[in-house]
A and B are shown apart, each in its own frame.
Chain A
Amino acid sequence: MSEPPLLRVRHLTTEFLLADAGQRARAVEDVSFDVYPGQTVGLVGESGCGKTTVLMSILRLLPANAEIRGQVFFRGIDLLTLTERQMRERRWKDISIVFQGAMNALNPVMRVGEQIREAITLHGLMPPNEAEVRVGELLELVGIPKERGAQYPFQYSGGMRQRAMIAMALACSPGLLFADEPTTALDVMVQAQILELLQGIQRKLGLAIVLVTHDLGVVAEMCDTVVVMYSGKVVEYGPVDVIFNAPQHPYTQNLLQAFPDLARPGTVLACIPGAPPRLTDLPPGCRFAPRCPARMQWCDAEVPILREVQPAHFAACHLVKDV
């Protein structure tokens, strides 16, 4: 890629200070990845592996007990070095987010249109009367009749609420959209519609998306690049076709086996035995070692670092040799 990346995350590490006696939970450790303009990056991994924490760290929206280190360059500026005020001015304008299971992400006592308008006027992007027109356009863009902007969230179905959230996320024409499991709370038909909507919007507006999902089918269909996380760390990272066709890390291989292959019906669904380690009690070597079928002796002693398997394809496993 000749263009510079829109978002460049380097060595992002996030710890939560826990209430009891100075304990720390390192939810994210040494995470690095790039997002290029117009690209979709998939962030996958089991529940609790730190996907949401990565997004929230980048937006600096974590509660006060979180400690964030590393660098997050957006268009070349390190967001982690900005003052809170400078950061506020960038939120939603540069990066907006559609939250996980966003059934309550809209204020229940405020009209939907008003909530969208607020995002526009807050950043002083246009005068109120123009913003009003823009709200109508945004709603139509996501397939909601603009008159329904006058309604309250409870008058919307789950799918419509998520559409409204997407409309709101587009309000300030951000370069990057975070979609944190945007469809988990919805039924299958609606899920497909929402994902289609996101794809359509991306094509039309050319914005970049970081998509968090459990659904590898969605990743295969929508993403250009995949970041596979395990227990707070990136275990494999690369272009989607490479990850799907030649996964190098045993965890990624397991994930793909656990995913029912639609092309080969009848294949047995493999699931990964065991559970991820607790964040306060991490294994000394490879974090996947306790569950790894390919585990070797030194896996317990030495932490595997992320190596470049082939250009732009990285994996963190002792089995993997550098190019």
Chain B
Amino acid sequence: MSRGGMLGRKVLFSLLTIFVVLVINFVLFRVLPGDPVRAVIGRNVKLSAEAQQTLREQFGLDKPIFPDQFLDTLGQWARGNLGISWSLRRPVAEILAAKLWNTLLLIGLGQVLSIVLGILLGLLAGWKRKTPFDVFALTFSLIAWATPTFWLGIILLAAGSTWLGLPTGGLVSPENVGKPLYTVLPDLARHLVLPTLTLTILYLGEYMLIMRSSILEVLSEDYILTAKAKGMTPWQVLWKHALKNAMLPIVTLIALNLGFTVSGAIYIETVFSYDGLGKLFQTALVKQDYPLLQGAFLLLAVSVIAANLLADVLYVLLDPRVKPT
């Protein structure tokens, strides 16, 4: 099979996985306790049996679960209709889309910073192995990697707001809420400092450790000795021969981490009262807002699957050795 064929198969496999997730998602929210009708109209409202029956018919709940309800739901999802949030009374898809950008902004910044810094530091640490710099970087990374998100978040929040006067939470200051973000950039930036810093420190450790061990492994390879024997400077060896080989595991890690963007946002957004997907999920969970949770699960699953696919594709593009199987 050609490399193109292999990629095609991976895409197909991803789609299949998404379908399985859809089925699970559907089943899961049918077996959970709770009456959708009661939930929509509120628990304390008295409603006649006939009225309840009418509502059931409206929601399509009088039909058999399989195949009618299942196919109906799939059709709805395919059209981007994820139902109506019980607690917010707005279409789930619309709510998710609105918060997605905020989260992508926060996590994206944190990821980009930690990737760039982590790779550089890991490269230097591995190259200058056993020097004080390496020992320091290694210790820092191990601690950073082991630190719980909310703990570091709270410490930085306390320190940053007390000593630097940075805002304690939110996306923008109260007076700027509702304005388009690009009009209040300085305010937005001030709010992003602490959560971004927290995320950067947390992810940095992992990238640095992987990069360090990866570069150490590559530097011990025979082809590195060949490059030195050719008369290359240490920098040329590092740049032309070591880096691309050492980047292979990192690229996969980056792609996989992107998949956890959404779930990773839950802690950080809760700590910093940041108005993104993470906080939305937390609210949905507390309020038992099933349609919203269902939409959230779908988004989580799809992003993880898409990230896996991306990792596979990147690996095939970067490493000529990946053989069609």
Interface residues of A (CB under 8 A from B): 59, 61, 88-93, 96-97, 99, 102-110, 118-119, 122-123, 152, 154, 165, 168
Contacts and interface: CB of A to CB of B under 8 A. Distances in A.
Contacts of B230: 91-92, 96, 118-119, 122
A109 B231 contact: no
B231 A108 contact: no
Given A88-B232, A152-B321, A108 B222 contact: no
Contact of B225 (A99, A152, A154, A168): A99
A91 B319 CA distance: 29
B116 interface: no
11 contacts: A61-B229, A90-B231, A92-B230, A93-B231, A99-B222, A105-B222, A106-B223, A108-B223, A109-B319, A152-B320, A152-B321
A168 B240 CA distance: 17
B320 A99 contact: no
A106 B221 CA distance: 10
B244 A109 contact: yes
Interface majority SS (helix, strand, loop, mixed), chain B: helix
A216 to B, nearest CB: 26
Interface of B: 221-223, 225-233, 236, 240-241, 244-245, 248, 318-321
B318 A109 contact: yes
B320 to A, nearest CB: 4
A102 to B, nearest CB: 7
A154 B223 contact: no
B320 A61 contact: no
B107 to A, nearest CB: 30
Given A105-B225, A107-B223, A122-B231, 4 more contacts: A90-B231, A92-B230, A99-B222, A165-B226
A104 B229 contact: no
A110 B241 contact: yes
Contact of A109 (B222, B233, B236, B245): B245
Given A61-B229, A122-B230, A104 B223 contact: yes
Nearest to A109: B244
A61 B222 CA distance: 12
Contact of A107 (B227, B236, B248): B227
